[in-house]
Amino acid sequence: MTLTEHLPILIIIVPLFAAILMPLTGVVNRSLCWYFTVLVTFVVFLIAISLVCNVMEVGRISYRLGGWEPPWGIEYVVDSLSVFVLLVVSFIAFAVAVYARRSVEAEIPAGKVPLFYSVYMLFITGLMGVTITGDIFNLYVFLEITSLSIYTLIAMGPNRRALIASFNYLILGTIAGTFVLIGVGYLYMVTGTLNIADLGVLLPKLYGSSAVLTAFAFFTVGLSLKLALFPLHIWLPNAYSYAPSVVSAVVAATATKVGAYVLLRILFTVFSVDFDLSVVPVTYILIFFASLAIIMGSVLALSQTNIKRMLAYSSIGQVGYIVLGAALTNELALTGSIIHIFNHALMKGSLFLVVGIVVYKTGVTDISEFKGLGRKMPITMAAFTLGALSMIGAPLTVGFVSKWYLALGAIDAGMWFLVPVILISSILTAVYFWRVVEKIYFYKPDTVYEVEPVDSGFEPGTDGCIVSRLEAPVTMLVPTVVLSILCIVFGIAATLPVEIASRAARLLLGGG
Amino acid sequence: MNEHVIVQTISKILIPFIQLYALYVLAHGELGPGGGFQAGAIFGASIILYVLAFGLKAAKLRYKTKVLQLLTSTGVFIYASVGVLCMLAGGAYLQYSALPLPTQKLAYAIGIYGIEIGVFITVTSVLVTIFFETAGYEDD
């Protein structure tokens, strides 16, 4: 077998080996860990890019572990949907890894840094595994690897409350994981297979069976809990706000996205569109909760005073968009949903990275203390504004593209009343981000921050007062700015991601 | 500790046999009931018995946290390496038949032993680590 044929397994093994070797690297030299992490995530990103090229050329790729034939052995499947998610996740993982160095140094005790990077690599392994596997039990295992590493990463937060946040998430995450496992068990009981493609073939004959319905219910509730769909979102705000900044960024941008990916797989590949529409009215239930999530996420975000919590609640609203697109079950809406996986990763990633920079330089997380930051950190705050505009869904940003497709999809499905839901949420988003943007640009700073003597020059502000520059180090600034510029780039040149996403949508709806 | 003489003596006699039995379960994993996980659990139990009889302090002198950490990842490393060796030999990941050994049967046996040993090492050290961590948290 050639190297190209091995790519689907290498994307898992490379970060897995890195996770094992990271503590040893830490023994040799602690600062090497960061270089090693950046190198490995870059390699993973390159593998993802070459997988994209392969899939675009030849279509579905299947890799047989141990050489066993698919329905019996474990199969790794790369198709247009999984490759899209792989690309998004590996890119964010790489960008955040570059950013991580200073932030991790500041927030995590020096002795634990190698372990942090080790768990980070394990987290990437899990995400890649969930996305690429074609075996439903394997999917559960990787989902647990991801969740366990998130619990650990969150618990490393600088505040002791991180431990409680992590523990709450552990309890709810384990319940969710168990639900998924019960679902897998029921499906295995009635079909005798664990292969996702094989399940898709065998299940239609059994749609009447109560075991299948039970399995479906467990999957839906379990996954809704994993991806924090509105009434099941309780674990998310604390987990995101007490985690280390790097972790908030990477988890917000990737973990819930992979949860959404699994939901899409269950709804459309394991079960069929037919089942979702005619056997149980799951689409209506999901549309209801997704709309509730979109509105309530924005309303709750409005009432937050802590920036990390605000972004966390905003994530709950954004998860609503992804689920809404999936529940509308037409090509346009599903394209919107899949593209929102990418778009939200970009914008929420950049916003959380900006917050990480603010925490690193000033230590504030309260929105009221953002006064005048626009003058102190012009580049960082410009990145924040771009991210905020994308979240609102201003034209020429990525947020607009996904909302446009979702709205078109809603009209196409004859559910025009969902369009006002999207609009109202956009207005609410504008309100809660405007509060921050206003503080950043239109208020004078009133607190004196500790300024590090190394990289701070003094320069006179426009109104005569002395403004000290607090701009972040290059390794932090570059990934943040790149992510926020990509929000604009893919907002204008939207055709490329939209093409992959609509291909994936057609695949899910059974058109190939 | 003198009042525990009977417990300590019996444990001293039992532990080698438990550990030998664990290795037996490991060796017969691919033929009969057993395997790396079960063997690891039995081996871990023998160490836990040692802790119960001789106390946590004495046990921690014998089983250093650093060594346990190293063993935990060594096990995973062995498992993953066996898979990669199969790839280097020209097969798919974990395709034992590709290993350059005289017969297919031998290749499968060696391949499975490899990963079972990996599982065994990791399970043992993780069980002991968890027990140490929950038994006393004053030591870091």
Q: Do A13 and B91 touch (CB under 8 A)?
A: no
Q: Do B96 and A64 touch (CB under 8 A)?
A: no
Chain pair A-B, CB pairs under 8 angstroms: 44
Residues of A55-72 as b/e, b for ≥16 C-beta within 10 angstroms? beeeeebebbbbbeebbe
Number of compact structural domains in chain A: 1
Backbone angles phi, psi at A180, to 5 degrees: -60, -40
Question: Which A positions 4-23 lie with beta carbon below 8 A of chain B?
Answer: 6, 9, 13, 16-17, 20-21, 23
Nearest to A23 among B73, B93, B96 (CB): B73
Q: Do B76 and A16 touch (CB under 8 A)?
A: yes
- Assigned domain for A441 exists: yes
- Assigned domain for A355 exists: yes
- Assigned domain for A6 exists: no
- Assigned domain for A358 exists: yes
Nearest-angstrom CA–CA distance, A143 and A374: 40
Inform me whether the C-beta atom of residue A117 falls under 8 Å from chain B C-beta atoms: no
B25 min Cα distance to partner chain A (Å): 24
- Assigned domain for A167 exists: no
Nearest to A13 among B84, B91, B95 (CB): B84
Predicted ipTM of the assembly: 0.86
pLDDT tens digits, A304-338: 999 999 999 999 999 999 999 999 888 999 999 99
Please report residues of A whose CB lies closer than 8 A to that of B69: 23
Residue with tokens 């550990």: B19
Residues of A160-185 as b/e, b for ≥16 C-beta within 10 angstroms? eebeebbebbbebbeebbebbbbbbe
- Assigned domain for A413 exists: yes
Q: Yes or no: say if A406 and A336 are a contact pair by the CB < 8 Å rule.
A: yes
Using a 10 angstrom Cβ sphere, with 0-12 exposed, 13-18 middle and 19 or more buried, the burial of residue B62 is exposed
Angstrom CA distances, A195 to A71, A191, A420, A457, stand at 6, 10, 41, 60
B52 min Cα distance to partner chain A (Å): 29
Q: Do A67 and B91 touch (CB under 8 A)?
A: yes
Assign 3-class secondary structure to A2-46.
Answer: CHHHHHHHHHHHHHHHHHHHHHHHHHHCCCHHHHHHHHHHHHHHH
Nearest-angstrom CA–CA distance, A144 and A46: 26
Q: Which residue of A has its CA nearest to B112?
A: A66
Please report residues of B whose CB lies closer than 8 A to that of A17: 77, 80
Closest to A385 measured CA to CA, from A463, A247, A300, A484: A484
Inform me whether the C-beta atom of residue B55 falls under 8 Å from chain A C-beta atoms: no
Residues 6 or more apart whose Cβ sits within 8 Å of residue B33: none
Nearest-angstrom CA–CA distance, A399 and B123: 46
Category of A76 on φ-ψ map: left (φ > 0), alpha (ψ -120 to 50) or beta: beta
Q: Can you give the pTM of this predicted structure?
A: 0.91
> Domain extents for chain B?
2-135
Nearest to A66 among B77, B80, B95 (CB): B95
**In one letter, which amino acid is B114?**
G
**E strand or H helix at A76, and its extent?**
strand A75-78
| Cross-strand bridge partners of residue A460 | A466
Q: Do A66 and B84 touch (CB under 8 A)?
A: no
Question: Which A positions 66-105 lie with beta carbon below 8 A of chain B?
Answer: 66-67
DSSP string, A232-274: G-THHHHHHHHS-HHHHHHIIIIIHHHHHHHHHIIIIIIS-HH
Inform me whether the C-beta atom of residue A62 falls under 8 Å from chain B C-beta atoms: no
- Largest interatomic CA distance in chain A: 77
SS3 A73: coil
Inform me whether the C-beta atom of residue A141 falls under 8 Å from chain B C-beta atoms: no
> What is the domain extent for residue A409?
329-336+346-512
- Assigned domain for A481 exists: yes
Please report residues of B whose CB lies closer than 8 A to that of A67: 91-92, 95, 97-98
| Cross-strand bridge partners of residue A133 | A76
pLDDT tens digits, A68-91: 888 888 999 999 899 999 999 999
- Assigned domain for A376 exists: yes
Q: Do B92 and A66 touch (CB under 8 A)?
A: yes
The residue among A3, A16, A20, A62 with the most chain B CBs within 10 A of its CB, best to mutate, is A20
Spell out the per-residue pLDDT of chain A, length 512, in tens. 788 888 999 999 999 999 999 988 888 888 899 999 999 999 999 999 999 999 888 888 899 888 888 888 899 999 989 999 999 999 999 999 999 998 888 888 888 899 999 999 999 999 999 999 999 999 999 999 999 999 999 999 888 899 999 999 999 999 999 999 999 999 999 999 999 999 989 988 888 889 999 999 999 999 999 989 988 999 999 999 999 999 999 999 999 899 999 999 999 999 888 887 788 888 899 999 999 999 999 999 999 999 999 999 999 999 999 999 999 888 999 999 999 999 999 999 999 999 999 988 888 888 888 888 888 888 899 999 999 999 998 888 999 999 999 999 999 888 888 899 999 999 999 999 998 998 888 887 765 555 444 444 444 444 444 456 677 888 889 999 999 999 999 988 888 888 889 889 998 887 64
**In one letter, which amino acid is A161?**
R
Inform me whether the C-beta atom of residue A65 falls under 8 Å from chain B C-beta atoms: yes
